[in-house]
Amino acid sequence: MTAETFRGNFTQQEPIPEEGIEAAIAVLRHGRLHRYNTSKDEIAETALLEQEFAALVGAKYCLAVASGGYALGCALRALQVGHNEPVLTNAFTLAPVPGAIAACGARPVFVDVTADLTLDIKHLEVQARASGARLLMLSHMRGHVCDMDALMDMCVRLGITVIEDCAHTMGGAWGDVASGRHGAIGCYSTQTYKHINAGEGGFLVSDDAELMARAILLSGSYMLYSRHLAAPEPEVFARIRLDVPNVSGRMDNLRAAILRPQLKLLPQRVARWAELYRALEQGLADTPGLTLTLRSSQETFVGSSFQFLLNGWSAARVGLFVSRALARGVELKWFGAPDPVAFTSRYDHWQYADPTPLPQTDRILSGLIDMRVPLTFTPEDCALIARIIRQEVLIVGQGAEPATLSVPLIQ
């Protein structure tokens, strides 16, 4: 019997819904793409999108911006982060997170990851006390959410303000609170690989009037903040409007038009991702050598990606496994590779942040395998992918130690 191969595309998203295409064409036809370029009595698509997103997550205020990374930087500036100020963040996250901290002239202080791929709350306390940081940029990396009740208790106790990076948790929740609604500010991305797709884009949400007024002024509102629908009252702006610099990073009406119909589809997408995730999880259960991550019963997660651990495997063995899976059409990313490949950079690659070694994180990331799960996949596709991974884990895990390290180049 010949080995099965998967022929799907791990980076192919679904098309934009017809309603979004129609709305985008309408914006192109009238030409008023800038969010403050409205005709008499017209409400901009961007302002409507903000109102709808605020309602979706149950926030008082929302601001749409140019990218998820911009949202993170804007949140830090709204909190008036100082030059060289320490900002706690996850050692396991994506490069734009420490990048946003560094771009503000602040200094990332990395916190360990646990075997469940969440922030290590005990290590957070250690790093918080050692650095004296007053800010935590908490990244729900790959949709894994730490115990938010325990985390928020600790942050209140230590006087730490939390910014949530919800790039992978839009549509998710902890208990009955939407992801992004525990901290002072929640940030989201609408980049193509996230849960709603405008190419680029992002949101900030908050219930704090002054923070949101600062964020709106920062984003480049040219004193036209009264055209927002999910913004604080003008009096809040009046107090600070001349004290906040313009760091332009607005969203435009074309992207907002594409996103509005997708917001309505989000609950449906979360349910479809859950089905794909379950197919992978079932297909990989009880595979010797492979460890699945535990999810808390409190967590409503979005299965837009899938992770597992090959604990204790040598780099050569993991490299061989990833190469063999790729030869059968299964594109996996490995967070333990010596050099960053595509999206898999690691805290110790971020040399500008002068990272201190974190042995626990190193051990976990050395065997961490990550996979995208686009909604163009079916549950049958996921079952096939799981069969291939399972077979290759058994073959490579039980075979002889490979002589050389082969690192497959996946884009």
Ligand X SMILES: *Cc1c(COP(=O)(O)O)cnc(C)c1O
Per CB under 6 A, 74 contacts ligand X: no
> What is d(CA 110, CA 76) in angstroms, rounded to the nearest whole number?
16
Interior/surface letters 316-349, b for 16+ CB within 10 angstroms, e for the rest: bbbbbbbbbbeebbbbbbbbbbeeebeebbbbbb
Between CA 190 and CA 64 the distance in angstroms is 10
68 scored as a contact of ligand X (CB under 6 A): yes
- Distance, CA of 231 to CA of 212 (rounded, Å): 7
CB closer to ligand X out of 33 and 95: 95
Distance CA 396, CA 327 (A): 14
The binding track of 295-314 with respect to ligand X, each residue x by CB under 6 A or -, is: --------------------
Judged by beta carbon, residue 106 or residue 388, the one nearer ligand X is 106
Looking at 89, 161, 191, 361, which residue binds ligand X (CB under 6 A)?
191
List the one residue out of 17, 66, 11, 37 whose CA is nearest residue 269. Answer: 17
Please say which residue, 317 or 346, places its beta carbon nearer to ligand X. Answer: 346
Residue of 197, 228, 160 lying closest to 21 (CA atoms): 197
Total number of residues that touch ligand X (CB under 6 A): 15
The answer to whether 205 and 53 have CB atoms below 8 angstroms apart is: yes
Q: Is 65 or 160 the residue whose CB approaches ligand X more closely?
A: 65
Q: Say which amino acid occupies 336.
A: G
> What is the rounded distance in angstroms from the CA atom of residue 158 to the CA atom of residue 166?
23
Q: Which residues pair with 138 in a beta bridge?
A: 164
Binding mask 313-332 for ligand X (x = CB under 6 A): --------------------
CB of 168 to ligand X, least distance (A): 6
Alpha helices in 285-354 (DSSP H): 315-327
Q: Which tokens in the block code for residue 12?
A: 């192919």
Closest separation in Å from C-beta 388 to ligand X? 25
Stretch that binds ligand X, among 29-37, 61-69, 74-82, 220-228 (CB under 6 A): 61-69
Among 76, 94, 263, 279, binds ligand X (CB under 6 A): 94
CA distances from 319 to 5, 233, 308, 323, 331 (A): 19, 56, 15, 6, 12
3-state helix, strand, coil in the chain (%, to 5): 40, 15, 45
| Cβ nearer to ligand X, comparing 170 with 236 | 170
Per rule CB under 6 A, is residue 185 in the interface with ligand X? no
Interacting span for ligand X (CB under 6 A) from 37-45, 91-99, 146-154, 280-288: 91-99
Q: Is 403 exposed, middle or buried (CB count within 10 Å of its CB: 0-12, 13-18, 19+)?
A: exposed
Q: Measured from the CB atom, is 98 or 355 closer to ligand X?
A: 98
Q: Which two tokens stand for residue 61?
A: 């205020």
Shortest distance, CB of residue 201 to ligand X, whole angstroms?
7
**Within positions 120 to 179, which residues make up the interface with ligand X, using CB under 6 A?**
139, 141, 165, 167-168
- In the complex with ligand X, which residue's Cβ is closer, 66 or 332? 66
Decide if residue 252 touches ligand X (CB under 6 A): no
Window of 62-70, 173-181, 229-237, 305-313 that interacts with ligand X by CB under 6 A: 62-70
- Rule CB under 6 A: choose which of 6, 38, 63, 67 binds ligand X: 67
Quick one: which of 38, 161, 189, 197 contacts ligand X (CB under 6 A)? 189
Of 96, 232, 249, 367, the one binding ligand X by CB under 6 A: 96
Residue 94 vs 145, nearer CB to ligand X: 94
**Residue nearest to ligand X as judged by C-beta position:** 68
Beta bridge partner(s), residue 307: 370
Side chain identity, residue 337: A
Contact 184, 158 (CB under 8 A): no
Dihedral sign from CA coordinates of 35, 41, 45, 48 = positive
Q: Is 93 in the site for ligand X (CB under 6 A)?
A: yes
Q: Which is nearer to ligand X, 80 or 192 (CB)?
A: 192
Nearer to ligand X, 168 or 390 (CB): 168
Question: CB 345 → ligand X: shortest distance, Å?
Answer: 11
> Do the beta carbons of residue 285 and residue 48 sit within 8 Å?
no
- CA torsion angle for 124, 125, 129, 135 (degrees, to 10)? 50
The amino acid present at 77, given as its one-letter code, is R
Least distance to ligand X from the beta carbon of 181, Å?
Answer: 17
Interacting residues toward ligand X by CB under 6 A: 67-69, 93-94, 96-97, 139, 141, 165, 167-168, 189, 191, 202
